[in-house]
């Protein structure tokens, strides 16, 4: 089942401007939501640290990162570039 482009945009806006700020506040208050983790990358252009909440994909000793927006997600593109795969 695929979502429409307008549905994707709405989902992204809600996540970026409503959900993520609340999750970030919880992390800053030392009470992160269960199953969440913070991923920190360095901005490619700015060199500044960037933090984004991700679902905790810990399975034994392996940590899975799953991006809802695939390669459209900035942190995925950053990791992909740093890893030399682009």
Average pLDDT by stretches of 10, the chain with 86 residues: 74 86 91 85 86 82 76 75 62
Residue 68, pLDDT score: 66
What pLDDT score was predicted for residue 1? 47
pTM of the model: 0.63
For residues 71 and 86, is the Cβ–Cβ distance under 8 A? Answer: no
Q: What is the DSSP string of 7-55?
A: HHHHHHHHIIIIIHHHHHHHHHTT-PPTTEEEEEEE-TTT--EEEEEEE
Domain ranges of the chain: 5-82
């Amino acid at each position: 089942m695929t979502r429409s482009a307008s549905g994707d945009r709405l989902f992204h806006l809600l996540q970026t401007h409503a959900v993520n700020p609340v999750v970030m506040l919880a992390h800053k208050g030392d009470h992160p939501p269960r199953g969440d983790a913070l991923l920190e990358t360095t901005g490619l252009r700015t060199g500044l640290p960037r933090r984004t909440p991700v679902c905790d994909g810990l399975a034994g000793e392996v940590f899975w990162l799953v991006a809802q927006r695939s390669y459209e997600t900035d942190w995925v593109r950053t990791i992909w570039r740093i890893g030399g795969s682009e």
